[in-house]
Structures are given as structure tokens and as C-alpha cells.
Structure 1
Amino acid sequence: MVTEPDKRRLEELDARINALKDTQTPKPKVEEHYSMAQQGWRMVTELVSGLLIGVGLGYGLDVLFGTLPIFLVVFTLLGFVAGVNVMIRTSKEIQTEAVAHEAAKQSKEG
């Protein structure tokens, strides 16, 4: 049970906390900006996934048809090309966003 002196102290503490809350202005939420690192990892993931899909398909077809290295090599190369193609598309998308952001920034200033 709470005794009278403790109750008074708790009420005083609650009043001080509320007074401090009123004086504090909430900090604006700042978005942490790691977009370039995220874009880099996205591109690496796209390349690796293209390679892995190509290797998986090639190996699966080689096992299915009994022609061990042929489809593995062909689909690995195709997976690499597909991964590079997606990386190029991603870099163009990033560049387009950067140009649009820069144009919007300049229009606000000028």
C-alpha cells in the first residue's frame, strides 16, 4: 500500500514530468538516408539472383537430359547477362530519380 508521504511524492513527480513534457518539442522524424547503400545491395542481389537462377536451370536441365556441362554453361552465361541487364535498368532508374530530384531542388531555389 502507498502511504501518504509516498503518494504526495508521486504526485509531485507526475506534475514535474508533465511540466517537462509540455516544454519539450517533439523532434521531427528524420529519415535515415542509406539509399545509395541500399541501391548497391539491390544491384548485387539482382546480379547474384540472375546467376543462381541460371545455374539452377542449367544444372536441372543437364541432369534431366544427361548432358552435364552444356546447359549449365549456357544458362549461367544467360543468368549473368540477365543480371547485368537488370542492374543497368536499375542504374538508369536511379539516375532518372536523381535528375528529377535535382530539378525539383533547383526549381524551389530559383
Structure 2
Amino acid sequence: MAGAVEKPGRGHRDRETEAIKRRLHDLEGKVRDARSRHEPASSASQDRGSAMGEALKLSTEMIAGVAVGGFIGWALDRLFGTAPILMVVFLILGAAAGILNVVRSAQRRQAAAGPLPGNDLPADDDDD
């Protein structure tokens, strides 16, 4: 009968280990499910950040075009003594260059995004 008696706590410890393993496995499943639910939200914030970066880049190009044009016009006015004429001309040219850069960047971004839904409709044959 002495062999039938277990050491105190040994069987209890095995049951606790199994319970902990089971709880850990359940917790891993819950974490995996939570991560899969939150992945689309992170891609949306990444898209928002990308769009914010693109907007900052476009505005910087616009401001840089005007600033460089104004500086070149100012320097040429100082060199030739033709006070505000060349500065105004180059400010306008700088603004035009900035707008052209913004339009080109927007066209590249639109081409990379692909066609909009609904643009694949057949041509309208009405003679209205």
C-alpha cells in the first residue's frame, strides 16, 4: 500500500502544466484572430500616410518653383538693374513650372493607380 501513495503535489503539478499549455494555446489563437482583424486598419492608415506624403511633396514642388523663379528674377534684376520686371516674369515662370510638376506627378500617380471602375463601359451609340 505504500507504493500506491503518490508524492504530494506531483499529479497536481502535471494537471496545472496541462491547463497552462491549454490556456496558452487558446491565447495564441485569440491573438492570431485579433491581429487578422486589425490588419486592414493598419493598411488604411498606411494609405493615408502615403497620400499625406504625396500631398506634402506636391506642395513643396509648387513652393520651390515659385521661390526659385523669384530668386532668379531678383538676381537678374540686381545684375541688370531692371527692378521688378524680371522678378515678376520669373515668378510667373516659376509658378508655371511648379504647376507643371504637380500635374506630371498627379498623372504618374493616376497611371500607377490604374483605371477607375466604370471606365470600361462601351461607347454610347446615341446620336442625341
Give TM-score, length-normalised by structure 1: 0.62
Structure 1 distance, partners of 2:99, 2:67, is 13
Mark the structure with the bigger radius of gyration.
Answer: 2
Q: What is the alpha-carbon root mean square deviation over aligned residues?
A: 2.7
Structure 2 distance, partners of 1:96, 1:37, is 19
User: Is residue 2:67 matched to residue 1:52?
Assistant: yes
List aligned pairs for 1:97-108, cutoff 5 A: 97-99=112-114
Which protein has the bigger helix share? Answer: 1
Gaps spanning 5+ residues in structure 1: where? Answer: 1-18, 103-110
Q: Deviations over 1:62-95 (max 9, x none)?
A: 0011111110000000000000000000000110
List aligned pairs for 1:1-110, cutoff 5 A: 32-34=46-48, 35-99=50-114
- Percentage identity across aligned positions? 30
Structure 2 distance, partners of 1:65, 1:96, is 44
Q: CA deviation at 1:33?
A: 3.0
Give TM-score, length-normalised by structure 2: 0.54
Name the structure, 1 or 2, with higher relative contact order (CA <8 Å, separation 6+): 1
- Figure out how many residues of one structure are paired with residues of the other and give that number: 84
Structure 2 distance, partners of 1:99, 1:83, is 25
